[in-house]
Amino acid sequence: MSLTAVSHVQEPDLREVEAERLEALDRYDVIGTPREEAFDRITRLAQKFFDVPVAIVSFIDAHRQWYKSYEGLDIDEVPRRDSFCKNVIASGQALIVPDASKDPRFADSPLVQGAPHIRFYASIPLTTRDQHHIGALCIIDMKPRNFPAAQIEIMNDLVQMVMDELELRLCADHDALTGLLSRRAFKEQAERTTALALRHHYCLTAITFDLDHFKTVNDTYGHAAGDRVLTDTARLCSEMVRTSDLIGRLGGEEFVVLLPNTPQEGGQEVAEKLRVAIAHQVVDFQDQRIRLTASFGVASLDASTRDTASLLESADEALYESKAGGRNRISVWRTPSSLLKSRRRVFKGGMIVFNGGTSVMDCTVRSLSDEGAGLDVSSSVGVPNTFRLAIRSDGLEMRAQVIERTPKHVEVAFV
């Protein structure tokens, strides 16, 4: 395999700015996490206060605008090329569009010409303490309207609430609601546990699980009932694992357990005990008796899974299989033979280049080795079987062949 410099990517200074922005976004570890009440509360407040049909807290990676929280929409992301908010993170300034259909920057956008037929748009960037613009809070209406300066000040306050929540999570060791390890603290401790397992050659298994149809609980009984379900489930699961095991809340209704000195078969046994216990759990809330089930994914360290990030990603893939297969079940990650080469976790912008360089798709490179890469895409449907992968931050281009694909992810080998 040969690596050649790319001459048609962004200028070095812009590449560096974008690479640093993606690093800042990655630091908060928010992309792909479940919806959470702390952020949903902010979008509901924005929707009601400004009397708009749509409010969104979003983050922008290399290829998409992804919605952490949204009210008034039935989608959770749009391609970055179609995003209004890409202009906000580029400028670092508030953007007010009274009527998008009359604004030459947006009039031809598919989001204006077609559903949801955006007319009014207001957005303010989510900016880190070191001045990286990682996303935006935006409100949308399907009819033109003005936006007084006083309301921009209120949006600024809501933006600060979002950033405060993100910063608190960087500092917290334990989840405020359940008392389990926070996402950040779990991953820090898991890194140490994984390093020991690799050094001393002992088994390590991860279990990820989430509560099936949890949104129905919040919608039917209210968020206080949902909180009770989460706390009772966390207590139940904590009592069923060993003191040497790690258990954390990754966000929303998703949990994770790390089992040192436990082979994959032992992890399956633990997951089954947890599955049965949750299925038999009855949560009493006021006059209601709430029952739920959970779906599980199990993965262990192996020849292709040599770090915490890939271990959890493998468990998540298995969890996705459980949910796709009907929920209330356990699935186990089986490493495809094509993925046996170890990868390092990365978070880089990339371009899928094909048709002789005339067609380009943005992607986010999530894993990388000399032999291949894992790419997040808005849709894998349009990704050809062979193409050239350009990694913008490194100024490199490799010929790639697709070896595995899911709806929004492709694994490639370099050829």
279-323: per-residue pLDDT in tens? 999 999 998 999 999 999 999 988 667 789 889 989 999 999 999
Tell me the per-residue pLDDT of 219-229, one tens digit each, with 9 for 90 and over: 999 999 999 99
Closest CA to 258 of 336, 334, 202: 202
Tell me the per-residue pLDDT of 315-365, one tens digit each, with 9 for 90 and over: 999 999 999 999 999 999 986 654 545 668 899 999 999 999 999 999 999
Mean pLDDT of all residues in 1-30: 73
pLDDT band at 13 (very low <50, low <70, confident <90, very high): low
Q: Is the pLDDT of residue 10 over 80?
A: no
Q: Which two tokens stand for residue 229?
A: 């379900």
Closest CA to 78 of 284, 354, 379: 379
Closest CA to 21 of 31, 32, 6, 36: 31
Q: What pLDDT is stored for residue 340 in this prediction?
A: 46
pLDDT band at 93 (very low <50, low <70, confident <90, very high): very high
The better pLDDT of the pair 133, 392 is held by: 133
Q: What pLDDT is stored for residue 406 in this prediction?
A: 85
> What integer best gives the mean pLDDT of the chain?
92
Domains of the chain: 4-10+341-414 (2.40.10.220), 31-171 (3.30.450.40), 183-335 (3.30.70.270)
Tell me the per-residue pLDDT of 235-274, one tens digit each, with 9 for 90 and over: 999 999 999 999 999 989 999 999 999 999 999 999 999 9
Q: Strand 254-260 and strand 246-251: pairing?
A: antiparallel
Alpha helices in 29-83 (DSSP H): 37-49
Q: Of all residues in the chain, what percent are helix, strand and coil, respectively (each to 5)?
A: 35, 30, 35
Q: What phi and psi, each to the nearest 5 degrees, are found at residue 82?
A: -95, -5
**What order of strands is seen across the sheet that includes strand 54-60?**
77-79, 64-71, 54-60, 133-141, 120-127, 95-97
pLDDT band at 26 (very low <50, low <70, confident <90, very high): very high
In this prediction the pTM is 0.79
Distant-in-sequence, close-in-space partners of 148: CB < 8 Å, separation ≥ 6:
none
Asked whether the beta carbons of 277 and 240 are under 8 A apart, the reply is yes
